[in-house]
Amino acid sequence: MTKVADCRLPLHLPLNQKEATDTGAQAVERYPYNREKNVLIRRSTPDRSQRIRRIVQLLFVALNGLLGVQFLLWVRYFESGGNSMYVPRPAGVEGWLPIAGLMNLKYFLLTGHVPSIHPAAMFLFIAFVLMSLLLKKAFCAWLCPIGTLSEALWRLGRKVFGRNLRLHRWADIPLRGLKYLLLGFFVFVIGTMSAEALVGFMNTPYGLVADVKMLNFFRNMGQTAAIVLVLLALGSMLVQNFWCRYLCPYGALIGLVSVLSPVKIRRDAEACIDCAKCARACPAGLPVDHLVQIRSAECSACMECVAACPAQNALQFSLPARHAAAPAQRWFRRSVGPLAIAGIVAYIFFGLILIARATGHWQTNMPRDAYMNLMPHANEVTHPGI
């Protein structure tokens, strides 16, 4: 377990000096002296962040469930040669194609044209990156169904095993590097592709049915894939957010973007009573009680730390503090509450969908006949690079 040195901030430092803090996931600027503990001034209102976050997570899981059922019905229609109920293809499933989203974004930046295959993937990709730019990795803790499942698994693991494990730094840091390696691989491959290569890939049979291939992965799962998924589930029960922390390249990307977010978890040393409840509650294992702001790419804006904090104005998800003597004045109209997070996330998500729909770039532009020919052979289609 990582031990972090005490670096409580001296009361006499002006606020702008107190802002110089962490530079990464675990880095801490140390102060050479301790100070007396502050007197606890209890928060006046109970925290609602986790209840609101849970509602948003469940709504998004339900939305994905509906999209999944509609997509399955749409695929079944073509697989049955048109002998089952037809439903329109839900373009929202392209949110599960982040690599297509990145490829299409590069194509759009190079040519100024929105690609006709999987355009929704690009708009949803932009929406999720934009959220990270404004609200840290809120996408991971508030929307992503895999993040929600990971969270459910570590909570289940805590119930079953009585606790979760926290890996030692020598294992944790190299493992965290894995997701950046995966991200680097995808960025390198896509970065070296020309606009012609990108549009050419999207128009291959593999590119056209990339979403169906993903569905088939789960429908016709082989033994090896099933074993890997069981191991991942077990890892997620033992270690909090195992997949997100070590393996998710999408999380790695938006984590890097999230470092630029002006809104961060911020601790007011003058209101903090040094109880360390925030650090114990943090699923990312961040030393929240030792920092005045969390810049780490691992912070998912889950607000578990804020929910755990007993002191009024000691911890918040906020813009930088105002220059004022009293904590209440420092954070006045600076905090971003859970309802505001939910509102901003919804605004960006539905706003981008609206833009895509209004400009006629939401649906993939493919005739029904092409799907009718392609769909029964989706399993035989292989990656053009193989």
Check binding of 244 to ligand SF4 (CB under 6 A). Answer: no
The residues, ordered by sequence, that sit 6+ positions from 91 with a Cβ below 8 Å of its Cβ are 119, 120, 362, 363, 364
**Placement of tokens 């912070």 in the chain:** 299
Dihedral-angle region of residue 223 (phi above 0 means left; psi in -120 to 50 means alpha; beta otherwise):
alpha
The residue (of 60 and 96) whose beta carbon lies closer to ligand SF4 is: 60
Task: Give min distance, CB of 170 to ligand SF4, in A.
Answer: 22
Alpha-carbon span 331 to 351, nearest angstrom? 29
Residues 282-301 that bind ligand SF4 (CB under 6 A): 282-284, 286, 288-289, 294, 299-301
For residue 316, give the H/E element and its range.
strand 315-318
Check binding of 4 to ligand SF4 (CB under 6 A). Answer: no
Q: Name the 3-class secondary structure at 105.
A: helix
Check binding of 208 to ligand SF4 (CB under 6 A). Answer: no
Dihedral-angle region of residue 279 (phi above 0 means left; psi in -120 to 50 means alpha; beta otherwise):
alpha
**Phi first, then psi: what are they for 222, rounded to 5°?**
-80, 175
Nearest to 89 by CA among 67, 107, 116: 67
Nearest to 116 by CA among 98, 95, 129, 100: 100
Check binding of 22 to ligand SF4 (CB under 6 A). Answer: no
The residue (of 198 and 314) whose beta carbon lies closer to ligand SF4 is: 314
Check binding of 309 to ligand SF4 (CB under 6 A). Answer: yes
Alpha carbon distance, N-terminus to C-terminus of the chain? 43
Q: Among residues 273, 319, 355, 366, which is the contact residue for ligand SF4, using CB under 6 A?
A: 273
Q: Among residues 278, 292, 342, 375, which is the contact residue for ligand SF4, using CB under 6 A?
A: 278
Residues near ligand SF4 (CB under 6 A), total: 29
Distance of CA 187 to the CA centre of its chain: 18
The residues, ordered by sequence, that sit 6+ positions from 380 with a Cβ below 8 Å of its Cβ are none
Task: Give min distance, CB of 317 to ligand SF4, in A.
Answer: 7
Check binding of 321 to ligand SF4 (CB under 6 A). Answer: no
Task: Give min distance, CB of 99 to ligand SF4, in A.
Answer: 26
Check binding of 342 to ligand SF4 (CB under 6 A). Answer: no
- Residues shown for the chain: 386
Buried b (16+ CB within 10 A) or exposed e, 254-272: bbebbbebebbbbbbbbbb
The residue (of 124 and 305) whose beta carbon lies closer to ligand SF4 is: 305
Check binding of 25 to ligand SF4 (CB under 6 A). Answer: no
Compute the chain's Rg from CA coordinates.
23
Check binding of 138 to ligand SF4 (CB under 6 A). Answer: no
Q: Among residues 134, 208, 212, 315, which is the contact residue for ligand SF4, using CB under 6 A?
A: 315
Check binding of 183 to ligand SF4 (CB under 6 A). Answer: no
Check binding of 302 to ligand SF4 (CB under 6 A). Answer: yes
Task: Give min distance, CB of 132 to ligand SF4, in A.
Answer: 13
For residue 290, give the H/E element and its range.
none
The residue (of 253 and 309) whose beta carbon lies closer to ligand SF4 is: 309
Alpha-carbon span 189 to 197, nearest angstrom? 11
Check binding of 276 to ligand SF4 (CB under 6 A). Answer: yes
Check binding of 375 to ligand SF4 (CB under 6 A). Answer: no
The residue (of 238 and 286) whose beta carbon lies closer to ligand SF4 is: 286
The residue (of 121 and 315) whose beta carbon lies closer to ligand SF4 is: 315
Residues that bind ligand SF4 (CB under 6 A): 265, 267, 272-278, 281-284, 286, 288-289, 294, 299-305, 308-309, 311, 314-315
